[in-house]
Amino acid sequence: MPHPISPTPQTELDEADFTARAKARLNEIYGPRADEVLRRLLRLISHQRGAIPERSRPLWSERDQVLITYGDLLLDGERPPLQVLDEFLETRLADTFSGVHVLPFFPWSSDDGFSVIHYREVNPALGDWEDIRRLTRHGDLMVDLVINHVSRESLWFVDYLAGTQPGRDYFIEMDPNTDLSQVTRPRSSPLLVPVSTRRGTRYLWATFSEDQIDLNFANPDVLIEFIGIMLYYVEQGARIIRLDAIAYLWKEIGTSCIHLPETHAVVRLLRAVLDYLAPGTLLITETNVPHRENMSYFGLERLDDATTSDVPAQPDEAHMIYQFTLPPLLVHTLTSGDATALEAWARSLPALPSGCTYFNFTASHDGIGVRALEGLLPPHEIEAMLELMHRFGGYVSMKANADGKDTPYEVNITYFDALRGTRRGADPWQVERFLCSQHLMLALQGVPGIYFHCLTATLNDHEGVERSGQLRTINRRRWQKEALDELLDSRNTPTREVFMALRRRLKLRAQEPCFHPEVEQRILDTPPTLFAVQRGPLADGRRLLAVYNVTDKRQPLSLPDLDEDGWYDLLADAPWDAQAPRELRPYRSLWLVQRPGAPTS
């Protein structure tokens, strides 16, 4: 039986199309130097061509759902952690996820992997490349291209200190008296880091920390190097490339140094390389910024430019962008018991063009971003949420502003503990409230990502914060496999209850064609105590209705759609009983499907 959704084909470029696109992008980045950089790029591609695996499949389907994890979140004695993860996927999560995002697994010096020392090596404490490739038998592999910065323990930085190539010109020196007040900052640390070199003290650009030194993409050598690294990851089995902190890539004094045109041109060039050499490989941008800025990484703002011949008929930047608004907005909704802001935001999302979708998530290795709430919630509501997160054991990380003041950037807390209660305080509904957040996310248009610690209902790791001195460690606990197995195999533990419920819901979702990322969604009118989204209808008339009670009280169901015939309750695996009492228990949800003409019993 044919699938009711026509699969979106992968984009492929022939040599002439690729050369034209690459030249256009390089002109935007390097101007008169573009021709020479293009010749170097074409040489690199000719060397890599034979090593790239061929793929032929649609971009995505309803089966796509990704596990997000560090390579060493599971520890088992002396066994390589990547092998422990592989076994866990095989025994506990078989047929649950379509792929796994292994957060940076390279040798690193800080930030749990995001200060990379060697880009083409696997951290020996985790395993080796064979262990990484073995994970692809569970589905797609997502790999981070940590492109904005590098560890000061890298060989490139050693070259810089010694004044030798290639690293000598890989970094951005800056006079400390330069006016950098317009630069958008995600941190409150100093932007310039003093470094002792053989030429004396120099000041280098460091957006995130003194150990994460920004790379100089005004030097074409850096761009060519990273294209080679990206293709190496694809050669090792990566199907999804995540561009970490991409928004800050290009620097231009006198600007905000975020989302600059050259940055977008680099993303478009990387996309063109993949479409030409590795069609079917997906690009995802990680940009923790307000929603409108985030959307720009689809390339949507260029589609109305009808005078430029090289502008394609569809977006040509990222295939996916992170839905950064969703995690904090869900916390607000479920702790306030009011879905008004969530409904308004979800209703405002534009229809996505073919070949683009969202990556939906509630938690990740980072904190719960606050910037995405700008313009969606009034300041007093944001402040109330931050105060509540403090009460539930969380911390708030700050960022520096152009006026010299620091403002909240993210909440550091596990998502399970973020939903410990409501604004009235902690209560007995933590598990139900948390599961409601996950189940709601799974119904929205896009590809869902589940962080490992959401699967295991992990509590705040305050001891880890004390050991590391880093606030983000609160949500990066390393599980001893034996201890986790005991919790999963014991009855009446939150860990088992959450794990089993999420695994069941994920398997249901993967079988429902209405959850295909390209099936339209429509937000229904409901009281503030409910949230309801319709997916579909499909070509055969099938549609899905997902309804959620976002409060700790029973709520009446007064949706006119429920008066229609033909609804089937996916969660109960039975026809919907239209005569049953129309109410939802606290934090419960419905997934109902309807296919016109289908029998009702």
Q: Among 410, 506, 494, which residue's Cα sits nearest to residue 459?
A: 494
72 belongs to a structural domain: no
pLDDT of residue 273: 97
**Strand partners for 447:** 359
If one counts every other C-beta atom within 10 angstroms of the C-beta of residue 364, the result is 22
Q: Which residues of the chain have pLDDT under 70?
A: 1-10, 300-314, 597-601
Q: Among 221, 171, 264, which residue's Cα sits nearest to residue 41?
A: 221
DSSP of 267-290, one letter per residue?
HHHHHHHHHHHSTT-EEEE---S-
Contact between 234 and 241 under an 8 Å Cβ cutoff? The reply is yes
* Amino acid (1-letter code) at residue 356: C
**Strand partners for 320:** 284, 357
Q: Beta strand 74-75 with 567-569: parallel, antiparallel or unpaired?
A: unpaired
pLDDT of residue 561: 87
Contact between 40 and 423 under an 8 Å Cβ cutoff? The reply is no
113 belongs to a structural domain: no
pLDDT of residue 303: 38
If one counts every other C-beta atom within 10 angstroms of the C-beta of residue 452, the result is 23
Contact between 206 and 192 under an 8 Å Cβ cutoff? The reply is yes
Contact between 494 and 457 under an 8 Å Cβ cutoff? The reply is yes
Give a three-class secondary structure readout of 183-215: CCCCCCCCCEEEEEECCEEEEEECCCECCEEEE
Q: Apex CA 394: angle with CA 392 and CA 398, to 5°?
A: 145
Contact between 459 and 416 under an 8 Å Cβ cutoff? The reply is yes
pLDDT of residue 13: 81
Cβ neighbours of residue 15 under 8 Å, at least 6 residues apart? 276
If one counts every other C-beta atom within 10 angstroms of the C-beta of residue 446, the result is 26
Please give the structure tokens belonging to residue 599. Answer: 């029998």
Q: Reply yes or no: is the peptide bond before residue 166 cis, omega within 30 of 0.
A: yes
552 belongs to a structural domain: yes
Helix, strand or coil, per DSSP, at residue 437: helix
Q: Among 219, 319, 317, which residue's Cα sits nearest to residue 272?
A: 317
Q: Report d(CA 44, CA 226) in Å as an integer.
A: 11
pLDDT of residue 481: 97
262 belongs to a structural domain: no
Q: Report d(CA 593, CA 565) in Å as an integer.
A: 11
pLDDT of residue 433: 98
Q: Report d(CA 263, CA 275) in Å as an integer.
A: 19
Domain that includes residue 589, residue range: 520-594
Residues tagged active-site: 244
Q: Report d(CA 155, CA 111) in Å as an integer.
A: 18
Q: Report d(CA 250, CA 231) in Å as an integer.
A: 21
Place of tokens 């394609």: 312
Which pLDDT tens digit goes with each residue over 18-38? 999 999 999 999 999 999 999
506 belongs to a structural domain: no
Q: Among 104, 137, 367, 123, which residue's Cα sits nearest to residue 243?
A: 104
Please give the structure tokens belonging to residue 575. Answer: 């026809």
Angle formed by the axes of helices 379-391 and 326-336, nearest 10°: 80
Cβ neighbours of residue 6 under 8 Å, at least 6 residues apart? none
- pTM to 2 decimal places: 0.94
20 belongs to a structural domain: no
Contact between 412 and 461 under an 8 Å Cβ cutoff? The reply is no
Contact between 44 and 427 under an 8 Å Cβ cutoff? The reply is no
- Cα 356 to Cα 350, 352, 412, 447, 586: the distances in Å are 12, 6, 30, 11, 35
Instruction: Report DSSP state, residue 248.
Output: G
Find the CATH number of the domain harbouring 553.
2.60.40.1180
> With the C-alpha atoms ordered 366, 368, 373, 374, is the resulting torsion angle positive or negative?
negative
57 belongs to a structural domain: no
116 belongs to a structural domain: no
Label residue 44 exposed, middle or buried (CB < 10 Å: 0-12, 13-18, 19+): middle
Contact between 111 and 208 under an 8 Å Cβ cutoff? The reply is yes
How many domains are there within the chain?
Answer: 1
Angle formed by the axes of helices 340-348 and 326-336, nearest 10°: 150
Q: Reply yes or no: is the peptide bond before residue 537 cis, omega within 30 of 0.
A: yes
**Strand partners for 145:** 243
First vs last C-alpha separation in the chain: 23
Output phi, psi for 171, to 5 deg.
-125, 170
Helix, strand or coil, per DSSP, at residue 264: helix
Q: Among 313, 326, 317, which residue's Cα sits nearest to residue 356?
A: 317
Label residue 569 exposed, middle or buried (CB < 10 Å: 0-12, 13-18, 19+): middle
